[in-house]
Amino acid sequence: MVSDLFFQGLVLGFSIAAPVGPIGVLCIRRTLAGGPLRGFVTGLGTATADAIYGLVAALGLTAVAAMLVDHQTYLRLGGGLFLCYLGWTAFRAAPARQAAAGIGGSLPGDYLSAFALTLTNPLTVLSFAAVFAGVGVGGGQDSRGAALLVLGVFAGSLLWWLILSGATGLLRAELGPSRLVWVNRLSGIVIAAFGLACLLSLA
């Protein structure tokens, strides 16, 4: 039972993290700009936020979930504006050989920005709650069971970001500075597009 809860959380965390959205594009862009560690730290911030939302769902904290959903307009507004800002800075960013020397961000900044962006989507907690209910877990687990489930979610999400940043890092050596300029521009446009879509959804 103990191993089952952890494994279920692992699969769920990996599955929820895997679809490539704005954070995925950001992870790829940061990996190409500064190496696999920057991409992985970005994923670590997202995995931490996923674990928090997973904990809310696993413990059945309906009051917290309701509060997050009630304030989702403000959270999504902040997230959309921040994505637009990240898209703009990515579009104008220097190629990797300059960024690797320290231009364009820090590891704590990468972690905190990804963590904050993931938290601006409170519907994630409803996704976890729905998936947990669908497989018969969560929604009022005892503290030990909830901890195992959330630990599995965190590990599964982190596994995805490790794979993504590692695979992208292998491609980094094949791309010269001129190509990375276009990678930065394309990723900037995609990230900003996600931000605009988020803002338009509030209309």
Query: 118-172, pLDDT tens digit by residue?
Result: 887 766 666 666 666 555 555 555 567 777 878 888 898 899 899 988 888 887 7
69 and 126 Cβ atoms separated by less than 8 Å: yes
> What is the spatial distance between Cα 23 and Cα 124, in angstroms, rounded to a whole number?
13
pTM: predicted TM-score of the whole model, two decimal places: 0.70
pLDDT of residue 42: 92
> What is the spatial distance between Cα 77 and Cα 42, in angstroms, rounded to a whole number?
21
83 and 137 Cβ atoms separated by less than 8 Å: no
Single-letter residue type at 183: V
Identity of the highest mean pLDDT range in 58-67, 69-78, 130-139, 160-169: 160-169
∠ Cα 77 122 168 (to 5°): 85
pLDDT of residue 16: 74
pLDDT of residue 7: 84
- The pLDDT tens digits of the residues spanning 32-46 come to 878 889 999 999 999
pLDDT at 87 over 60: yes
